[in-house]
Amino acid sequence: MNLAQRVSNVCKALLPDATVTPHGSLALGDYEPGRSDVDLLVISDSPTDGVVEAVERQWRVERTNLDLRVVTYAAAAAPRRTPHMVLSVSLTDEHGLHVERNTSEPDLVIEFSLCRQLGHTDVIGPVPDEWVDDVGRGVVERWKRIGYDPPHQELMALTACRIWRFREERIHCSKRAAAAWARAQGACVAFDHETVQALLDRAATSITDGRARGA
């Protein structure tokens, strides 16, 4: 049994009303064991006592980067620009355990939007595409300010392709699929500094042009 399944099982045991939804590379078809993150969205109205400890125990069996977020059914059913998050558990070898409780998280609008695309419209309400664009624009602007960051150049480039494609086609896709799509648009997809910055610029321009068109 893999980490996603084990963590899902312990969440359902501790949170009897839970809906557990994989997203990210797990759901989009480009998960690579030992390299990709395990991303899980948990929707539950149950108290989260014991969840952190149980999840950490499962992670120690298979130390793959894990990002788990818990929201209420009300928060999922009526998304806001910065949805409320009951609990966030992040586990990596590099940084160990990081826990947040009762905070707002803008990135959740992307997770909600993706999970709706995957068919979970029964528990997650509509998310305006413009909200997803706004989060993507913030990511692009932050990375442009950071500039050259060798450990993250590939992530920057492929995420820029995903942001660009979502702006143009309103489709969430894997990093691999986004790179293929960007190449089909005539873009160079590589991980040197100049090319990454060009992809970030293209994603930002797409969002700006879309706003100007009112699309």
* CATH classification at residue 24: 3.30.460
* ∠ Cα 148 185 193 (to 5°): 10
Please list the pLDDT of the chain residue by residue as tens digits (215 residues): 599 999 999 999 999 999 999 999 989 988 888 788 999 999 999 999 999 999 999 999 999 999 999 999 999 999 999 999 999 999 999 889 999 999 999 999 999 999 999 999 999 999 999 999 999 999 999 999 998 899 899 999 999 999 999 999 999 999 999 999 999 999 999 999 999 999 999 999 999 887 655 56
Helix, strand, coil share (%) of the chain residues, nearest 5:
50, 15, 30
Contact 17/45 with Cβ under 8 angstroms?
A: yes
**Residues 134 and 182 occupy one common structural domain:** yes
Indicate whether 31 belongs to any domain. yes
Q: What global pTM score does this model have?
A: 0.93
The boundaries of the domain holding residue 165 are 129-213
**Residues 25 and 108 occupy one common structural domain:** yes
Domain end among 90, 117, 144: 117
